[in-house]
Amino acid sequence: MTAQLIDGNALARQIRAEVAGRTQALKARGVEPALAIILVGDDPASQVYVKHKVNDSSETGLTAKLERYGADLAEAELLERIDALNKDPSVHGILVQLPLPKHMDSHKVIEAISPAKDVDGFHVASAGALMVGQPGFWPCTPHGCLRMLDSIGYELRGRHAVVIGRSNIVGKPMAMMLLGRSATVTICHSATADLGAMTRQADVIVAAVGRQNLVTADMVKPGAVVIDVGMNRNAEGKLCGDVDFDGVKEVAGWITPVPGGVGPMTRAMLLVNTIEAAERATA
């Protein structure tokens, strides 16, 4: 068996085309959908991420306003800027690129963003909405993973999913979304005793730890769907995920690549959240 590939690049292109159509519809009403992206410091990976986000936004017709600040920016100044963006009706979404410099409290900064403009889906109000099934903004990475499962017509009801990674950004929201689709969910982490015993029972494995080759072929049930959220660099400096792709693809039924899998879908769902924020604000 060789797994079928879930092509995140191709699916993200389809989603960007959908967003472009919704953007044009708003512009026809005189609304210019706009996303404010704040980058503090000079983290190399963050600079690459925001570049992609700006380019993706431009492709759909959304306005992406990138604001760069030095790593010595005071937390109070950042909070003041966020407050101004919250009050600016021309800005529909606000994204603060993480990680922030060590002298800043990331939780405090995220909570300063208006829930109506929290297009990253990190605000506690967004988490609460997800928990009780109310409208809100879903975190982009888990949302992108669900869209990938939808793209292959995968029915989650009654399936067993194992999520490896307990973070508030991916792990916990991913588990809640899977539960919302009536799946049985087990949350694990890299230190779980006999992790393979858990994953071999899973119909769906979501790996989101940040450890190369965490999931190997002997840990995967034949025919399972494997979604790799990990972002690592191998010995040659090439981007890779948490899954031993070459080995696991010979066992799994479906698998996402790294790069070209979850990454572009995460950015695509940011655009979806932004256009929804604009539509809600101008309804």
Q: Please list, in sequence order, all residues whose beta carbon lies within 8 angstroms of the beta carbon of residue 127, skipping any fewer than 6 positions away.
A: 168, 173
Q: At what angle do helices 140-151 and 171-180 cross, to 10 degrees?
A: 40
- Do 73 and 43 contact (CB within 8 A), yes or no? no
244 is catalytic: no
Name the residue among 23, 270, 8 with its Cα closest to residue 137: 270
Set 120, 203, 228, 244: catalytic member = 120
Q: Give the number of residues written for the chain.
A: 283
- Do 119 and 35 contact (CB within 8 A), yes or no? yes
- Do 226 and 3 contact (CB within 8 A), yes or no? yes
Set 53, 117, 172, 249: catalytic member = 53
3-class secondary-structure state, position 202: coil
- Do 213 and 244 contact (CB within 8 A), yes or no? yes
Q: CA 177, CA 142: separation in Å to the nearest integer? A: 8
- Across 122-156, b (16+ Cβ under 10 Å) vs e yields bbebbbebbeeeeebbbbbbbbbbbbbbebeebeb
Q: CA 106, CA 260: separation in Å to the nearest integer? A: 28
14 is catalytic: no
120 is catalytic: yes
Q: Please list, in sequence order, all residues whose beta carbon lies within 8 angstroms of the beta carbon of residue 208, skipping any fewer than 6 positions away.
A: 141, 163, 164, 165, 167, 170, 171, 174, 229, 230, 242
Please give the single-letter amino acid code of residue 220: V
User: What is the DSSP secondary structure assignment for residue 175, as one 8-state letter?
Assistant: H
Q: Give the residue ranges of DSSP H helices in 161-261.
A: 171-180, 195-199, 245-248
Set 56, 97, 117, 244: catalytic member = 97
Which residue numbers are catalytic? 53, 97, 120
